[in-house]
Amino acid sequence: MSDAQGNLQHIARVAVAQVVLIAFVAAVSTATVAVSSQLGWHGRPPVGALLLAAAVVTIALPRVRPAADRLANWVVLRDRADSYDLVSDFVRKVASTLPVEEVLPRLAETAARSVRSPRGEVRVWLTDGDEWTEAWPVDQPDGAAAVDVDVRHDGQSVGELEVSMSDEEVDAAAARRRLRALAGPAGVALSTVRLTVDLRRRLDELARTDDQLRASHRRLIEGRLEERQRFVRTIDEFVRPHLTATGMALADVGGGSAEDLESGLATAARHGEVALEHLRSLAHGVFPVMLLQAGVGEALAAWADSSEVALRVRAWGDPGLARRAPTAAAVQYFACVDALQGLRPAPSAATVQLSQDAGAGTATLTVEWDAVTSARMDPNTALRLHDRAEAVGGTVEFSKTRLTVTVPAGPQS
């Protein structure tokens, strides 16, 4: 059906409906005049009769109008009048508060009833590439043949309407015309369904992201508390006893001989050096001074000297980037150290490739270890790696033989 034919049919339906309504008003007026004559009111009807007629028209007109519309549809559309009523009813329901879950089943039912088919089916193309299909009735098997039309909205295909042709009484050409008439309002409905489903999916993704961020934040806080407690325990176990011994040795040298004084000072100095050595080692684990002085590569090489991992470090790019971006340098250093310490079994050798590109504003660290090891990462360590990188807007990629950490490395870090 062309647009011109559709417009002419619409004008004809409106005209017929208006004629019916005018005939109704004329009938009420005629009845009022007849009643007035029977009551002996000759000439003009009195004001009371006119008001009565107006009241009757006002009350009855809303009830007469749907009948007038149905009569107009039957006069103009004939055998398609029922289909038009179904489509109009569907449009009114969609425009009201019809839940999105009921739109497709109602549309499938409307499509089937409009062409007197035993089965209707609706498919909507979702924005993520998936397809949502609903059929009416749900227990009716698909027919051997079917008629389908494309449903479009704003020039874009949003889905399809399909009706079964298993019933020999269904005219395929007429069914296609009626489905095309339904495709207009169906386009708006399916577009609304697509948008609603997409918004719900995005809302779910945002909720999951929020949960992950909250969990990551909680783990960072718990990790900070654990590191603080470990720091305190290490001081109490390795540093404080030597400081106490130093103080006791100094207290004992006050009233003795020169030899006792020399021996006490030597003992105090020995305990003081041990305490300082433990503090240096502890401070190196918290934040190595070499990390800022010489960069990530040299700091990792220094760490490897005191570990059991034969580490080969290859770095290129800007070696002074760690001084301008200490946060990025710290994330990469501790990610590498945590990863190598968290592998089970621990690798005997590993290779670190460090790329620091000041122009691109990124720093990438890749750690590779022996594939024969088939090492697995401790789950808590893996979470800590992701938390460290994501806290500064970076990413972590982990496999059985490789770890890649990419972080922003601009001056603002």
Domain ranges (residues) in the chain? 3-77, 83-205, 228-286, 289-408
**What would the pLDDT profile of 358-410 be if each residue is shown by its tens digit?**
566 778 888 888 755 556 777 777 888 888 888 788 888 888 788 888 888 76
Cross-strand partners of 161? 122, 149
Q: How confident is the model at residue 68 (pLDDT cuts 50, 70, 90)?
A: low
Q: Are residues 351 and 368 in contact, defined by beta-carbon separation less than 8 angstroms?
A: yes
Measure CA 163 to chain center.
Answer: 34
Check residue 204 and give its pLDDT: 92
**What would the pLDDT profile of 264-316 be if each residue is shown by its tens digit?**
888 888 888 888 877 766 665 556 767 777 788 888 888 887 777 888 888 77
Residue 293 tokens, joined: 């002085």
According to DSSP, residue 236 is labeled: I
pLDDT at 1 over 50: no
Q: Which fold has domain 289-408?
A: Heat Shock Protein 90 (3.30.565)
SS3 content of the chain, % helix, strand, coil (to 5): 65, 15, 20
pLDDT at 320 over 70: no
Query: Does residue 80 or residue 90 have the better pLDDT?
Result: 90
Sign of CA dihedral 49, 52, 58, 61: negative
Q: How confident is the model at residue 413 (pLDDT cuts 50, 70, 90)?
A: very low
**DSSP-based three-state secondary structure for 151:** strand
What's the chain's average pLDDT?
75
Percent of the chain with pLDDT over 90: 7
pLDDT at 2 over 50: no
Cross-strand partners of 245? none
pLDDT at 92 over 60: no
10 Å CB burial of residue 219 (0-12, 13-18, 19+) is middle
> Angle 163-165-168 (CA atoms, 0-180°, nearest 5)?
145
Check residue 214 and give its pLDDT: 86
**What would the pLDDT profile of 112-137 be if each residue is shown by its tens digit?**
877 878 888 999 999 888 899 999 88
237-246 residues labelled b (16+ CB within 10 A) or e (exposed): ebbeebbebb
Q: What is the CA radius of gyration of the chain?
A: 42
Quote the pTM value: 0.50
Superfamily designation of domain 83-205: GAF domain (3.30.450.40)
How far is Cα 264 from Cα 246, in angstroms, rounded to an integer?
A: 9
